[in-house]
A and B are shown apart, each in its own frame.
Chain A
């Protein structure tokens, strides 16, 4: 039996927080996006500006009137370790109270902008998502981070920036995930 299937050792002290579920394994990135939540081409000279527009689109689609709380939470997370990858994908995210499903949106930038935390990284696509702030939803949250990072490789990003609009961009993602 491989080691990772064994029961994890019990540490001393308080009981461990173990989340060994494999939820969201089959979650497709294209399934949580729609034409309304894709901004193309995204305007904005810096990350907060693009983020503001993207959060507004996601909130509007989800019918959330007050988007400030959501935006504030994402910006708070952005103060920490960078969410931008070498591939040109920026992946801002936050875990929110009061939502039960994942809310996501995507901005495609014609002109790349630098990541404020790491200026040598240029953002070409920004994928914003909010997930439920529940312990059982955390594996899904991580799975989505991994899944989005895996899907948005430089080749797809090149195709997205060269696409004709949100619908075409979504089609490209669906095609890749098919």
Chain B
């Protein structure tokens, strides 16, 4: 079954990554630019609004979008490979930093709680975080091998818990402010030699460029946002409306959670204590609340448990996001086709998931539990994937003037032309941050360029090898077939009270499927998309159950149509010696109340209906009514029997 997720689930998946930065961004950015960090984090979170809008425009243009698709359409394959390599760097580091940070929080909690329990052990935060991070990655590796539906369930539960934690923490913080008062973070910047990178020797000449440097250091606050483009494919109808809803939910939640927490951390934790909690700032916030020590410890435990969950969720999102990106690349013959091999039981692209998880595990081991190091390197992938995306969407405004479902605002009409000034301004801002980061974030620049170059070369080699092997032609989905001698197996796949069966044969004639999808309500109705393989005589015996080229092409088109509409479908293939018997048996097996056909090139609609009525009657064992519909451009027959 091909199923789709609600905007809430999609937002939860993205937020598991984006909002999880609240647990480590404050410490990293303050280490880099001083106590003014919350102001710049706030600025970055506000900047997430236009970046989300950018992704809405890009995703609305390409259902299977993301930075690779958008950049390839506008700037060509090479730049697309560079952009997606940068994005892969982001995803690999997202998994690593989130998992390590979760370990740091747990180690911090242990070190706070053990003395109270009269256990005088100390947990080494770095060593513990590496081991714990590897466990988290291994857990979500398994979850992703099982499939997205299960992991989106977990994302929504985690985000619900985060909301509860935010409510408790903010309420307690309000009481603390009432008791002790609040100290607003200063606006002065305090760069370290490390945080100025190659600009350290020109610190005094920085001037207003310092603001951009600081902004660049806070940019990891937007990490995870790109996943929105990856989950758009999985989003249910109405797709664009749900995409906007998800974007709005992501913006509000991230701004409220991350923004407020970083201000509270600087405003409520004393300066000297804050340095101790640089790697687990929220634990420091919990321990700085007004109240008895045991209550502080309980809050810390709550914050840590939720933190471990959301940071683990970010690991999950990074695996899902990078799996989505690699899938797009494999569809485009940029990655070896063998990587798209489906897991025999779960139907997931397990080899890609393995590859991503191995890279994350290696990064975790190499960083040796240093969150700051990971954080510094982290922003490279985020900013450059945004720069490429913004540039690409901007170029597409001139290159492809077709009507957009939605446009980034700030467009000025000049006669027949439209100048996308808003988009251009966003691109320039992102480009400036990217260029400044190149100079100031040495770790990010060196490791990011090395990683990007590695992936770029890998993609180039794979593409050439694929061309040499003449893997040509249009994209084909990979399918896992469950075979059975009895059509009753379909009952396991369907659960809604109404069932509609749409018979398809010609990938070029799916008008009726699109019409059925338009009106389809996935909440109440199961839509089974059916085709039959007609074999006569001995051809029916020992029929191997695997799709041939035509069937793969047909079902690829079916999947694309379902994705475009965001409606759940259940594909079905039956081997039979008669198409009408096959349709009838399939429809009766699933309990279809409606059977939809396209207009046939060989048979008139009347003859189709006559033959179907005869077959239906001869096989029907109950008196259930059925509606037959034949749909084509300008043709609609509907008959109730």
A48 to B631, CA, bound (A): 35
A147 to B614, CA, bound (A): 8
> Is residue B594 contacting chain A, with contact meaning CB distance below 8 A?
yes
> Which of the 9-residue segments A1-9, A30-38, A96-104 touches chain B?
A1-9
B639 pairs with A85, CB closer than 8 A? no
Given contacts A4-B500, A11-B515, A142-B610, contact A85 B640 (CB under 8 A): no
A139 to B610, CA, bound (A): 10
Residues of B within 8 A of A148 (CB): 614, 617
A148 to B632, CA, bound (A): 29
Partner of B637, one of A2, A12, A18, A152: A18
Least Cβ–Cβ distance between A6 and chain B, in angstroms: 7
8 Å CB contacts to B: which residues of A69-94?
80-81, 83, 85-87, 89, 91, 93
Residues of B within 8 A of A139 (CB): 639-641
B610 pairs with A16, CB closer than 8 A? no
A142 pairs with B613, CB closer than 8 A? yes
A87 to B619, CA, bound (A): 9
Least Cβ–Cβ distance between B536 and chain A, in angstroms: 9
B618 pairs with A87, CB closer than 8 A? yes
Given contacts A16-B636, A85-B615, A139-B639, contact A9 B515 (CB under 8 A): yes
> Which of the 9-residue segments B96-104, B162-170, B517-525 touches chain A?
B517-525
The proximity string for B residues 617-638 relative to A, scoring 1 for CB distances below 8 Å and 0 otherwise, is: 1101000010111011111111
Interface of A is mostly: loop
- Please give me the residue from chain A that is nearest to B623 by CB atom: A150
Partner of A22, one of B607, B609, B640: B640
Residues of B within 8 A of A8 (CB): 519, 629, 636, 638
> Is residue B366 contacting chain A, with contact meaning CB distance below 8 A?
no
Least Cβ–Cβ distance between B619 and chain A, in angstroms: 8
Least Cβ–Cβ distance between A80 and chain B, in angstroms: 6
Least Cβ–Cβ distance between B238 and chain A, in angstroms: 15
Interface of B is mostly: mixed
Residues of A within 8 A of B520 (CB): 3
Least Cβ–Cβ distance between A68 and chain B, in angstroms: 23
> Is residue A13 contacting chain B, with contact meaning CB distance below 8 A?
yes
Please count how many residues in chain B sit with their CB below 8 Å of the partner chain's CB atoms: 41
Given contacts A21-B640, A142-B641, contact A3 B594 (CB under 8 A): yes
A83 pairs with B521, CB closer than 8 A? no
- Please give me the residue from chain B that is nearest to A89 by CB atom: B618
> Is residue B498 contacting chain A, with contact meaning CB distance below 8 A?
yes
B640 pairs with A2, CB closer than 8 A? no
Least Cβ–Cβ distance between B609 and chain A, in angstroms: 6
Partner of B618, one of A17, A19, A138, A149: A149
B515 pairs with A149, CB closer than 8 A? no
> Is residue A145 contacting chain B, with contact meaning CB distance below 8 A?
yes
8 Å CB contacts to A: which residues of B513-565?
515, 518-521, 524-525
Residues of A within 8 A of B594 (CB): 3-4
> Is residue B593 contacting chain A, with contact meaning CB distance below 8 A?
yes
Partner of B616, one of A12, A18, A149, A153: A149
The proximity string for A residues 18-29 relative to B, scoring 1 for CB distances below 8 Å and 0 otherwise, is: 111110000000
Least Cβ–Cβ distance between A19 and chain B, in angstroms: 5
- Please give me the residue from chain B that is nearest to A142 by CB atom: B613
Residues of A within 8 A of B628 (CB): 142
Given contacts A80-B603, A139-B639, contact A13 B498 (CB under 8 A): no
Please count how many residues in chain A sit with their CB below 8 Å of the partner chain's CB atoms: 40
B614 pairs with A91, CB closer than 8 A? yes
B641 pairs with A146, CB closer than 8 A? yes
A93 to B638, CA, bound (A): 21
B617 pairs with A3, CB closer than 8 A? no
A12 pairs with B627, CB closer than 8 A? no
Partner of A11, one of B616, B617, B634: B634
Least Cβ–Cβ distance between B599 and chain A, in angstroms: 11
Least Cβ–Cβ distance between B542 and chain A, in angstroms: 20
A4 to B639, CA, bound (A): 11
Partner of A17, one of B497, B614, B637, B641: B637
Least Cβ–Cβ distance between B317 and chain A, in angstroms: 34
A11 pairs with B633, CB closer than 8 A? yes
Given contacts A3-B594, A16-B636, A19-B638, contact A145 B525 (CB under 8 A): no
> Is residue A14 contacting chain B, with contact meaning CB distance below 8 A?
yes
B633 pairs with A145, CB closer than 8 A? no
Given contacts A2-B497, A11-B633, contact A81 B639 (CB under 8 A): no
A81 to B604, CA, bound (A): 11
Least Cβ–Cβ distance between B352 and chain A, in angstroms: 37
Least Cβ–Cβ distance between B260 and chain A, in angstroms: 44
Least Cβ–Cβ distance between A12 and chain B, in angstroms: 6
A16 to B629, CA, bound (A): 11
A22 to B521, CA, bound (A): 25
A93 pairs with B498, CB closer than 8 A? no
A138 pairs with B615, CB closer than 8 A? no
> Is residue A161 contacting chain B, with contact meaning CB distance below 8 A?
no
> Is residue A163 contacting chain B, with contact meaning CB distance below 8 A?
no
> Is residue B474 contacting chain A, with contact meaning CB distance below 8 A?
no
Residues of A within 8 A of B609 (CB): 142
A152 to B521, CA, bound (A): 37
B636 pairs with A18, CB closer than 8 A? yes
* Subset of 13 A-B contacts with CB under 8 Å: A4-B498, A8-B629, A11-B515, A12-B634, A13-B633, A19-B637, A20-B639, A20-B640, A80-B607, A81-B607, A85-B615, A142-B613, A149-B615
Interface set of A (CB-CB < 8 Å, partner B): 2-4, 6, 8-9, 11-14, 16-22, 80-81, 83, 85-87, 89, 91, 93, 138-139, 141-143, 145-153
A86-B581, A145-B614 given; 4 more Cβ-contact pairs under 8 Å:
A3-B498, A4-B594, A93-B610, A146-B641
